[in-house]
Structure 1
């Protein structure tokens, strides 16, 4: 069993001002994504230029924050929202959903794509390889906060999380997700998109791989207490929301390459 590193979730404290590591992870993810995006603008098929990256980042950040919060409320805690609608706006109490953030980013790209007068999937294929950076940074933030821990385990690297309701060693599922959704997903998408691919193929690969990685991770992650398992004592909301991503991603890649062959 490994000892969980006791990291103060507050990175900087200046009187009443407290800056949390989780918030810094979001900033780091956006900053690195912006830098990598500027590198991608040098590709001859890029739909945006270096000057437009700042505006694109703003729209994406807006989609992540608004969509992530809205998705958490609707998918994971709707009864609480129905009992207290103002809870939607109390973001400092925590609660963000990747799938909601994805919907928010899709809407943001559609809106910004209209302003640029470029196709939606041209922009989506451009953005997809940048997303894992933010996902990985967010999972590190979850680990520092000691939240979203995994199921009890007897593996040698199990950890006792001080925020868990017991003293059982658990899977550090945040690190599993960091490795899959952050490192592996980034490597696969960055290498795949280093050459020009058929329109929609990069986006399709992102949906397929993320969906598969999330479904796998949910087998190790403790389900949300307010939901538990949805069926068969193993199906979680994260898996239910990720399965359509896998199916859509596969269909998109098949369509992209068939259209190219035609």
Structure 2
């Protein structure tokens, strides 16, 4: 039986300044977003993005991830706790981010970006979604380091004891989500998006893929205490939130099949005048 290594959540301490692993994982996710985005712009002739657009997408996306992710966690999972401890809402470095909230935040941010460059919203999200899974993978590693979002009790050989929880071996569900939502989803979406697709197809495939993988992982993850854990019919909050995501993904795929204009027909916006 394995025991969680109980890694110090603080990676670096410089006097009164502490840098947490959780924050570093987010920075890693943002860095991978830029590196993979630049690769796609350079090697995919049908990419509609410019380097300037990519930088803007990162800025808007960061705001969407942080604000939407935190707000989603507060409202969807632990509303009662944060109602009693409102200042803890700002303690993001301690963990507690909802993917579904961050997903909505990023999509709103991409609407703003699409309007700025006068592009189709789905064309923008088609480019962005393949860059998201590596950031999800980094976030799950952050969850594991923080020893949060642990799994349900199990008797499998790789069951892990989280000493701060109890002495029961549990599924290391953070690593399951790392493998499913991060690695496997990235491989699927990256390969799928490597060829020209009708507008909305890549976005739809991402939503279906994440919704399915998240729903699978929820069977092994311990429901969170607080506002909502296991809900109606034994379905967790994470699974309920994934259902509309899967349905929206299916709708996007069906809609994309009816479109006559594929992503490669979009023209890149003219680059803006360089700043001096």
Quickly name the TM-score band, shorter chain normalised.
over 0.9
Q: Which has the higher contact order (CA 8 A, sep 6+)?
A: 2
Q: Is the 8 A contact 2:204 2:249 kept in 1?
A: yes
In structure 2, C-alpha distance between the alignment counterparts of 1:193 and 1:107, rounded to whole Å: 22
Q: Which residue of 2 aligns with 1:139?
A: 140
Distance 1:133 1:193, change over 3 A: same
In structure 2, C-alpha distance between the alignment counterparts of 1:100 and 1:135, rounded to whole Å: 13
Q: Is the 8 A contact 1:218 1:238 kept in 2?
A: yes
Q: Which residue of 1 aligns with 2:239?
A: 239
SS of the aligned residue for 1:41 comes to helix
Q: Which residue of 2 aligns with 1:230?
A: 231
Confirm whether residue 69 of structure 1 aligns to residue 70 of structure 2. Answer: yes
Q: Which residue of 2 aligns with 1:193?
A: 193
The number of equivalent residue pairs is: 259
SS of the aligned residue for 2:13 comes to strand
In structure 2, C-alpha distance between the alignment counterparts of 1:86 and 1:60, rounded to whole Å: 24
Q: Which residue of 2 aligns with 1:218?
A: 218
Q: Which residue of 1 aligns with 2:13?
A: 13
Q: Which residue of 2 aligns with 1:48?
A: 49
Confirm whether residue 258 of structure 1 aligns to residue 258 of structure 2. Answer: yes
The Cα of 1:93 is off from its aligned counterpart by: 4.9
Distance 1:146 1:85, change over 3 A: closer
In structure 1, C-alpha distance between the alignment counterparts of 2:80 and 2:243, rounded to whole Å: 24
Task: Tell me the TM-score normalized by structure 1.
Answer: 0.94
* 1:136-165 C-alpha deviation (Å, 9 max, x unpaired): 00001101111100000000000001231x
Distance 1:13 1:81, change over 3 A: closer
SS of the aligned residue for 2:132 comes to helix
The Cα of 1:5 is off from its aligned counterpart by: 2.3
Give 4+ residue runs of structure 1 displaced > 4 Å after superposition. 81-87
Structure 2 residue runs of 5 or longer lacking an equivalent are 262-276
CA RMSD of aligned residues (A): 1.6
The Cα of 1:4 is off from its aligned counterpart by: 2.2
Q: Which residue of 1 aligns with 2:39?
A: 39
Task: Tell me the TM-score normalized by structure 2.
Answer: 0.89
